[in-house]
Amino acid sequence: MVQAYRFALVPNASQEHALRSHCGAARAAYNWAVGWVGASWWQRRAEESYGIAEEDLTEWRPWSLPALRKAFNEAKHTDPRFAAWWEENSKEAYSTGLANAAAAFDNYAKSKRGQRKGKRVGVPRFKSKRKARLSCRFTTGTIRVERDGRHVTLPRLGTLRTHEPTAGLLTRVQAGTARILSATVRHERGRWFVSFQAEVKRDLVRVARPDAAVGIDLGVKILAVMADSTGEIRTVANPGHYDAARKQLRRASRTVSRRRGPDRRTGQKPSRRWEKADAARNKVHHRVANVREDALHKLTTAVAAEYGTIVVEDLNVAGMLRNRRLARRIADAGFGEIRHQLDYKTSRRHATRLVIANRWYPSSKTCSGCGEVKAKLPLHIRTYECDACHLVIDRDDNAALNLAALAAACVTGTGVAGDQDTVPAVPKPRGADQKTRTTRPAARRRRGGQVAQPCRTSGKQKRETVLKPKPLTLW
């Protein structure tokens, strides 16, 4: 498998200058490619406005990586933007920018043709020197981890010291079970990092309970409620890393506001005291992000190493962040990162099964004891009370039990589990109107109501209701 090993760097003043120069060269090459390709587009548009025939218009300039490299190598000797300094950096820096430009144009073309998932991608734009992320990728040249375990060597940059030991990658390289493919340097959260992409040969690790399944219900007050197939329930409290640092952030932000900051309208430069105060505030933000990342990695690693089947919900995190009352806490919890980490840790390390519950599966509205489904369950009601079997249980515990029971029931070929028959026959626009139908357990069905079909599940053989819509009657 291909795996990344990331280490923090401790460069000296000259090495940091070289790192910034390489990343700036990548940005400059990207902007050149965007301008070179875009020039033919604007030229054709101008010629069309004059009524020039299609066959007489300026030819389209290609944006493939080989074509961009060939054009850039011809232009770098005469273009005043590169002629004076392009030899100071490695050729890999310019290849990084050209490769990113080629990928950006490909994404735009595929999005325009409807061949790319997600939001529509616009025309590539120039990268700002003030906002662009500093990054550069090396694929050829001297790329190695030194034998002392505390230094790495990169093309044109030389040997750089690492903040932490590189034994994890060095041991595999020396044993012949890993081969370094490329290296990427990036400035992130106030520090420089190097990420080695390596082809690694490793054995899968057997989980502690391969026959057990766990359902994970994520929340704000309680970060995760985990219920396994045996009925055991465990909770993980939300640490609230951002809320814990808000007092410190307020004080740091107040200090920044009282210094003379930059003003782009008048060209005012920031004072040294403002730069120091801004660096102190950023340091608090970086620490919050690092602590959150560490906590999420520990949680997902422990879950992936214990259970053979993990069931999580397909949450609409982007839609949840539009709620101004909960957006800060949802973003601090990291719902999307939890699912992302479970996705690759279950497949790469343990080869276990990750089941994604349907977004419209009523895990909180379904009784974990008898299977009755309620039509409505407002968010402020934190206790589930079943009208059929009179079960009283915490709302999150009930949802986690239903997700755990869903592991062995109604799993589709795409890895998405849920109540597939609840989709209406004629969906409304955008498909965001799916409502939960009220159902009764099989033993208490009412005559003339909706038919409930039981679906066998693992563990305690709980029953899940699969709904069929009642025929429409007009009068």
Q: Residue 400: which of 269, 281, 310 has the closest Cα?
A: 310
Contacts of 365 (CB under 8 A, 6+ apart): 373, 374, 375, 376, 377, 436
Q: Residue 459: which of 313, 307, 302 has the closest Cα?
A: 307
Q: Could you tell me the residue ranges of all domains in the chain?
A: 2-10+135-200, 13-112, 209-354, 358-467
66 touches 2 (CB < 8 A): no
Give the span between the Cα atoms of 398 and 396, in whole angstroms: 5
Q: For the chain, first and last CA: distance in Å? A: 63
Give the span between the Cα atoms of 327 and 296, in whole angstroms: 18
pLDDT at 157: 94
- Chunk the chain into consecutive blocks of 10 residues (it has 475) and report each block's average pLDDT, rounded to whole numbers: 93 95 96 94 88 86 93 91 90 95 95 89 92 94 94 95 94 94 94 95 88 91 91 91 95 96 92 96 95 95 93 90 91 93 89 88 88 86 88 90 80 42 42 67 46 36 36 33
Catalytic residue among 228, 332, 372, 396: 396
> Does 396 qualify as catalytic in the annotation?
yes
Catalytic residue among 92, 228, 313, 397: 313
Give the span between the Cα atoms of 196 and 179, in whole angstroms: 10
pLDDT at 442: 60
Orientation angle between helical segments 65-75 and 91-112, nearest 10 degrees: 130
pLDDT at 261: 93
Token output for 201: 């040969």
User: DSSP readout, 163-212?
Assistant: SS--HHHHHHHHHTSEEEEEEEEEEETTEEEEEEEEEE--PPPPPSEEEE
Give the span between the Cα atoms of 453 and 441, in whole angstroms: 9
pLDDT at 454: 35
pTM for this entry: 0.80
Length of the chain: 475
pLDDT at 433: 58
> Does 54 qualify as catalytic in the annotation?
no
Catalytic residue among 217, 332, 419, 464: 217
HSE toward the beta carbon, residue 315, CA cutoff 13 A? 20
Per-residue burial over 322-358, b if 16 or more Cβ lie within 10 Å, else e, is eeeeeeebbebbbbeebbebbbebbeebbebbbbbbb
Give the span between the Cα atoms of 375 and 422, in whole angstroms: 12
